[in-house]
Structure 1
Amino acid sequence: MSDEHFPLHDAASAPDAKPAFEQAEQTFGMVPNLIRKMASAPALAEAYLSLNTLLQQTSMSPTEQCTLLLTVSRYHDCDYCMAAHSMTGRMTGVPDGVVDALREDRPIDDPKLEALRQFTHAMIEQRGWVDEATQQAFLDAGYTHPQMLEVILAIGLKTLSNYTNHIAGTPVDEPMAGERWTAPGA
């Protein structure tokens, strides 16, 4: 889609999105292109930012949150979010080996993170109808039943952004250009 349908808004062109722009600036130190695109529907931008804040309040560590976000974005082949979460993951201390494995859709060496990746993938692929064995493998890795619900929160958050980026053609922001990623076969 062209910018005609989904422009990169600013506060002047999308005054109803001003609260989202302010929150994004406060959260990210800038207004990412994702929020500028979402500003065509200010409620979407606000929902995304709210869910992002809620994910940070879960029991998942920053590395586990990054694992969730990259797993969902990789499954959805979202170039923008793969770049964004690769960059922020590395900035927050997620080991390069974890980020690289997630970008390449290969197993993570850490068994607990790998269980999180597999469970998240199964949740998306099976639309939440995950069998008992898959649930038990997640629990056996050290996760809890409430954390299964936190995985759903992350999937919801990323679905909002991944789908927006797909239809809006969101360009990668300059700060994340070094982490560009292209879906296989694209």
Structure 2
Amino acid sequence: MPAPAFPDHTLESAPAPARRSMAAVVNKQGYLPVAVGRLATSPQLLDGFLKISALFESTTLDPLSREVLIMTVAARNDCHICVAMHTAKLTALGAEADLIAALREAKRLPLPDERLEAVRQFTLAVLATAGAVDEGALQGFLAHGYTPRNALEVVLGIGAYTMSTLANRMVDAPMDRQLAEFAPAPM
């Protein structure tokens, strides 16, 4: 039987350049997610994602707005691990259950919070137009208290979480037990 294309690397079995990034994840989360072990097959991808996601976390977008963007990308790209992980994060942030449900299910109904709906709609517009949003989409975003800087930070978030969702889908990692309670229902 051939070896799996994306093995479940441990800190000991991973390529040496991936070990520091993996150790940082363990230190932050308290365990090594299977997806991280599999992404370690490419130390550059793992390190790149961790760096770009840290940059996104440092933007001027507030935490709930960032999570709305992430869940919008994760649900759109059908990344079950990302949906579970960011459901957990939204829960920890105290997000309302109806907001989380709407994001998880990628409902076309507006989110209960107009400002967060503006982030979701702008994220979808950036994705749909490959960044060539029309003036109405940009003004709709800005009208909810966001800034031109925030608009560019949306692009940063889309880049980070497109990388993550596509890579996580490719490696097809199982759900970690730590995230099981936040996992989407099987289709």
Q: TM-score over 0.5 for the alignment?
A: yes
Report how far residue 30 of structure 1 moved: 2.0
Residues of 1 paired with 2:59 and 2:152: CA distance?
10
The answer to whether 1:150 aligns with 2:159 is: no
Match for residue 128 of structure 2 among 125, 129, 133: 125
2:106 is paired with a residue whose SS is coil
Q: Which residue of 1 aligns with 2:86?
A: 85
Please say if residues 39 and 46 of structure 2, whose CA atoms lie closer than 8 Å, have aligned partners that are also in contact.
yes
User: Identity percentage over the alignment?
Assistant: 33
The answer to whether 1:7 aligns with 2:7 is: yes
- Consecutive unaligned residues in structure 2, runs of 5 or more: none
2:32 is paired with a residue whose SS is coil
5 Å-filtered alignment, 1:55-66, equals 55-66=56-67
Q: Which residue of 1 aligns with 2:23?
A: 22
Number of aligned positions between the proteins: 183
Please say if residues 34 and 161 of structure 1, whose CA atoms lie closer than 8 Å, have aligned partners that are also in contact.
no
What's the TM-score, normalizing by structure 1? Answer: 0.92
Letter in 2 for 1:117: R
Superposed CA offset, 1:37-87 (max 9, x none): 110001111111111211111111211111111011111111110111011
Please say if residues 69 and 85 of structure 1, whose CA atoms lie closer than 8 Å, have aligned partners that are also in contact.
yes
Report how far residue 173 of structure 1 moved: 1.1
1:148 is paired with a residue whose SS is helix
Of stretches 94-103 and 133-142 in structure 1, the one that deviates more from structure 2 is: 94-103
5 Å-filtered alignment, 1:1-186, equals 4-14=4-14, 15-106=16-107, 107-181=110-184
Please say if residues 75 and 121 of structure 1, whose CA atoms lie closer than 8 Å, have aligned partners that are also in contact.
no
Letter in 2 for 1:5: A
Report how far residue 29 of structure 1 moved: 2.2
What's the TM-score, normalizing by structure 2? Answer: 0.92
Superposed CA offset, 1:106-138 (max 9, x none): 321110000000000111122111111111100
Superposed CA offset, 1:127-159 (max 9, x none): 111111111100111111000111111111111
Report how far residue 182 of structure 1 moved: 5.2
Of stretches 132-141 and 20-29 in structure 1, the one that deviates more from structure 2 is: 20-29
Please say if residues 88 and 179 of structure 2, whose CA atoms lie closer than 8 Å, have aligned partners that are also in contact.
yes
Of stretches 71-80 and 90-99 in structure 1, the one that deviates more from structure 2 is: 90-99
Tell me the C-alpha RMSD between the 2 structures: 1.6
Letter in 1 for 2:180: A
1:115 is paired with a residue whose SS is helix
Residues of 2 paired with 1:33 and 1:84: CA distance?
12
Please say if residues 23 and 49 of structure 1, whose CA atoms lie closer than 8 Å, have aligned partners that are also in contact.
no
- Consecutive unaligned residues in structure 1, runs of 5 or more: none
